């Protein structure tokens, strides 16, 4: 496993659950790093219990249904645990899924520009198929009303393709033909991180 990917997967988990404690995150990470999560099917995972983390059962089953996660430990802890609680078995599954997603292949093209005004347009029929993310940094704010930016656009899709795009940078309009080539999902994340 790559450290960089693990860090990103943890970062996503923290973003999704900002109120959870550091120990909650740490326990989820221990479960994930020990390889206790196995995918059973698309919406079901089996998580091996760890006695060191207070588990009483050898395995737990985590399910994703109607936009929510459910864990078998909800039924096995004297009914005291609230069903709305996100246990660390679930958190470990989320980490596992985050990691798998970041580790997957995507097809991407990168554009770097420096302008005051900028705009990237992709054909509307590609919306939903092609995604565009950008990262913006102010590099010159001498003119406070018109600061100059460094902009990185990442255009990506789940399959290789060629995308026609229109790039506008300070009145300069360019028609581009972007060839999306294979990379990994986490590279896209790293490129567009602030």
- The binding site for Zn ion (CB under 5 A) comprises 71, 73, 87, 89
Start-to-end CA distance of the chain, whole Å, equals: 24
Minimum separation from the CB atom of position 76 to Zn ion (A): 9
Round to whole Å and give the CA distance between 90 and 72.
10
Question: What distances in angstroms separate CA 136 from CA 8, 149, 150, 187, one per listed residue?
Answer: 20, 6, 6, 17
Round to whole Å and give the CA distance between 48 and 59.
4
Q: Which is nearer to Zn ion, 85 or 121 (CB)?
A: 85
Round to whole Å and give the CA distance between 26 and 11.
12
Minimum separation from the CB atom of position 56 to Zn ion (A): 11
Q: Which is nearer to Zn ion, 73 or 163 (CB)?
A: 73
Q: Which is nearer to Zn ion, 89 or 185 (CB)?
A: 89
73 contacts 101 by C-beta, under 8 angstroms: no
Minimum separation from the CB atom of position 54 to Zn ion (A): 11
Q: Quick check: helix, strand or coil at residue 92? A: helix
Q: Which is nearer to Zn ion, 71 or 111 (CB)?
A: 71
168 contacts 117 by C-beta, under 8 angstroms: yes
Q: Which is nearer to Zn ion, 96 or 186 (CB)?
A: 96
Minimum separation from the CB atom of position 33 to Zn ion (A): 17
């Amino acid at each position: 496993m790559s450290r960089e990917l693990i860090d990103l997967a943890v970062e996503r988990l923290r973003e999704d659950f900002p109120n959870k404690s550091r120990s909650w995150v740490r326990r989820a990470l221990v479960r994930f790093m020990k390889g206790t999560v196995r995918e059973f099917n698309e919406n079901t995972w089996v998580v091996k219990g760890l006695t060191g983390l207070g588990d009483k059962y050898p395995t737990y089953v985590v399910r994703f249904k109607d936009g929510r996660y459910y864990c078998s430990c909800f039924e096995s802890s004297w009914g005291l645990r609230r069903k709305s609680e996100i246990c660390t078995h679930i958190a470990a599954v989320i980490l596992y899924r985050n990691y798998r997603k970041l580790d997957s292949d995507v097809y991407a093209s990168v554009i770097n520009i420096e302008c005051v005004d900028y705009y990237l347009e992709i054909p509307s029929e590609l919306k939903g198929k092609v995604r565009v993310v950008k990262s913006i940094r102010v590099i010159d704010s001498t003119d406070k009303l018109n600061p100059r930016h460094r902009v990185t656009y990442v255009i990506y899709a789940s399959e290789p393709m060629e995308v026609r795009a229109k790039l506008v940078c300070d009145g300069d309009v360019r028609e581009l033909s972007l060839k999306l080539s294979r990379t990994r999902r986490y590279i896209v994340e790293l490129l567009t991180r602030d």
